[in-house]
Amino acid sequence: MPSPVTAMAHAAIALGEPLAHAHIDLTGLARPQKVARDLVRETLDGVDTRSMDDVELVAAELVCNADSHVPGNGPMQLAVDCYARGVLLQVSDSGTDVDAIPREPKPPTPESQGGRGLVLMQELASSWDVVKVESGKKVVAVFLHQPTRGS
């Protein structure tokens, strides 16, 4: 049975070609979170401003997590695909422990210095998952637009 995010990704792809696509290798960059935020803004600007802030925040948090928790200077990549009905965000890194990412993140205590990224993603994304890939793992977040009246 496919995970919810995989099913949503397939549904988005079934809607046709992305309206906008961007992919970047963040490996070794001094400020990968800034690059991720900038790439999301550039990709969605003029195409999808409804989810821009949420996607930008989640992208920066996922990149920060990958940069902080993956040993060494392993590969890290970001992909953004914008469809008519939403956005697909993917952050890949060389970490292999997909079980280290809790599927139901617990809110951090006020004293915690970290632990907010997954909670933010849980709240902002329509669905998300982490999957094992050949090069390590990939966190995929889907941001579906809420239908408006008449659509």
User: Is pLDDT at 33 greater than 70 in this prediction?
Assistant: yes
Tell whether 150 is covered by a domain: no
Tell whether 45 is covered by a domain: yes
SS3 94: coil
| Total of domains in the chain | 1
**pTM summary value:** 0.84
Tell whether 138 is covered by a domain: yes
Tell whether 140 is covered by a domain: yes
Tell whether 151 is covered by a domain: no
Distances (CA, A) of 71 to 4, 75, 93, 115, 141: 29, 10, 10, 18, 23
Tell whether 149 is covered by a domain: no
Domain that holds residue 103: 4-144
pLDDT (tens digit per residue) in 38-50: 999 999 998 877 7
Q: Residue 18 and residue 82: Cα distance in Å, rounded?
A: 5
Distances (CA, A) of 146 to 8, 69, 85: 14, 33, 8
Tell whether 108 is covered by a domain: yes
Tell whether 68 is covered by a domain: yes
